[in-house]
Amino acid sequence: MTIEHAPLPYPLDGLAPHISERTMSFHYGRHHAGYVANLNRMVEGTAHEGSAIEDILAAAEMPSALFNNAAQAWNHAFYWNSMSPGRAESPSPELLTALEQSFGSMDAFNARFAAAAVGNFASGWTWLVADPDGLSIVNTDDADTPLRHGRRALLTIDVWEHAYYLDYQNARPAYVDAFIEHLINWEFASTNYTHAT
């Protein structure tokens, strides 16, 4: 059994004009596909062959090429699902309550998430995670992922330059604003929150 490069949950041009078909063709079709192909090549003939991707990234040494490829394969699939063209505009009542308790208001959450994503100095990721004592915004570097640290991710934005450079060049804040204003799939985040609590 090989790790699947799962189909996108929308067409390559489904997120346009906020994320172009050209960006998606490289990001999904080359970058993500490459991580999945590398991962399958690396586990072939090893004890990890046939394992679930979550088990591989939990067991891989850190840092290692195996961890990087497993985590990037998982992170990107999670990122595609964090966005939707026909998205739910708002969180479930339960998640909205949790966001208000943890951040004060949706506007305050949006501002803090944007500041974290814009300020993430690494090639990395910005996440909303559900911890037992509330919600947090977390930045990770390179391939690192909350999953590795036992934390439950609700949604993520990729802030590696390849995620936005063709569409926004160095204007990461414009990409982050478009993600927050137009792309976040609150239904996905709400479902993840239900499973996390």
Alpha-carbon distance 142 to 65, whole Å? 12
Number of amino acids touching Mn ion (CB under 5 A): 2
Q: How far is the CB of 76 from Mn ion (least distance, A)?
A: 6
Q: How far is the CB of 158 from Mn ion (least distance, A)?
A: 4
- Residue closer to Mn ion by CB (options 158, 167) is 158
Q: How far is the CB of 26 from Mn ion (least distance, A)?
A: 10
Q: How far is the CB of 106 from Mn ion (least distance, A)?
A: 26
φ, ψ at 42 (rounded to 5°): -75, -30
Alpha-carbon distance 81 to 84, whole Å? 7
Measure the CA angle with vertex 169, ends 18 and 123; round to 5°: 95
The binding track of 138-177 with respect to Mn ion, each residue x by CB under 5 A or -, is --------------------x-x-----------------
- Residue closer to Mn ion by CB (options 96, 165) is 165
Report which residue's Cβ sits closest to Mn ion.
158
DSSP assignment of 137-170: EEEEETT--GGGGT-EEEEEEE-SGGGTHHHHTT
Q: Which residue has the tokens 């609590």?
A: 197
Confirm if 132 and 174 have CB atoms less than 8 A apart. no
- Establish if 103 lies at the interface with Mn ion (CB under 5 A): no
Q: What DSSP character marks residue 1?
A: -
Confirm if 33 and 2 have CB atoms less than 8 A apart. no
Q: How far is the CB of 160 from Mn ion (least distance, A)?
A: 5
Residues at the site binding Mn ion, with contacts judged by CB under 5 A: 158, 160
